[in-house]
Amino acid sequence: MSRQLNLNLRKSKKKYLFIGLGTMGYPMAGHLSQNNELELFVYNRTRSITTQWLQEYNGFEFQFDQLLKIKFDGLIICLKDDESIINVLITQNLIKYLKKNSFIIDHSTTSIDLVHSISSNHGVIKQNISYYDSPVSGGEMGAINGNLSIMFGGPNKKIKIITRLMNSYSNTIVKIGPSGHGQLTKMVNQLCIAGLLQGLAEAIALGKSFNLDMLKVYEAISGGAAQSWQMDNRFISMINDKFDFGFAVDLMIKDLNIALKNAESKELNLMISKNVLNRYKKLSKNNFGKLDTSSLIKLFNV
């Protein structure tokens, strides 16, 4: 249930701010709000979403320039791109609301340049704020069910604290290495997904072209070497022409562009990923950018 802001909040409770109540952030913040040991504030650019969230969960609304008496112990971000994060953290100077020696957990999928920009920011350094690039995998249902996978990079301090918070909405948390390694791991993740979905699309296209009973095909192959999360969760929806399951084509285009840019810096020619990126761009050009990433099958006339 929503509550009115009371500036005399219990000082014994840690106060955290969650920014970004989108497809992923909305349920993630919901899980975190169930922790009675903390006070959770939320902010979303579209205020009506914040209002809706506060009707479902316990928390407080954050508004810029209205909480100068409150300093947060930590900030959790789940935004769509580099520009959004720079706008919130730097342009709107959200850093001034963070305590000295606090931390930022960034669940967004971003470029390595963004990680370096935040980590080297004067305000972050001056306040000794620990920054963790912590992208997630598991999709909308993973966020709703609280069983996301999180890969993160950053300093070795405060690991127990941030892990305890992330456990609210995840069941796999792995520290990969220093700053940037979380985002690099997410790039690996997205390349794996893109290749798998293209393979599924081609396989389904072949099966449909020969009028196979695709439900029986799934029964026959899903327990063998072809099995994958994508097959388990997208094969049936793909054959039924259903593509409203979370992670959108336009977001995958952004992620693949980031991954391929980093691959080029290492002189790696990722031909399959480049091909899949072009196919996603074709979908987006044909106004399918909001469909989920399994919609690659739509490029086959089956």
For each of the domains in the chain, give its residue range(s) and CATH number, in order of start. Answer: 14-177 (3.40.50.720), 185-299 (1.10.1040.10)
Tell me which residue of 192, 187, 22 sits closest to 111, measured CA to CA.
Answer: 187
pLDDT averaged over consecutive 10-residue blocks of the chain (302 residues)? 47 90 96 96 95 97 77 96 94 92 97 95 95 95 96 96 98 97 98 97 98 98 96 96 92 97 97 98 97 97 70
80: Cβ contacts below 8 Å, ≥ 6 apart: 20, 22, 108, 251, 254
Catalytic residue chosen out of the listed positions 14, 186, 254, 298: 186
Element (H, E) at 279: helix 271-285
The per-residue pLDDT for 67 is 56
Contact 246, 139 (CB under 8 A): yes
The per-residue pLDDT for 302 is 61
| pTM of the predicted protein model | 0.91
Residue reference for tokens 């609304």: 61
Query: CA distances (Å), 141 to each of 27, 194, 236, in order?
Result: 9, 19, 16
d(CA 276, CA 10) in angstroms, rounded, equals 52
Largest CA distance in the chain: 69
Residue 100 is a catalytic residue: no
In total, the chain counts a number of residues equal to 302
Per-position DSSP letters for 102-125, written without gaps between them: EEEEE-S---HHHHHHHHT-HHHH
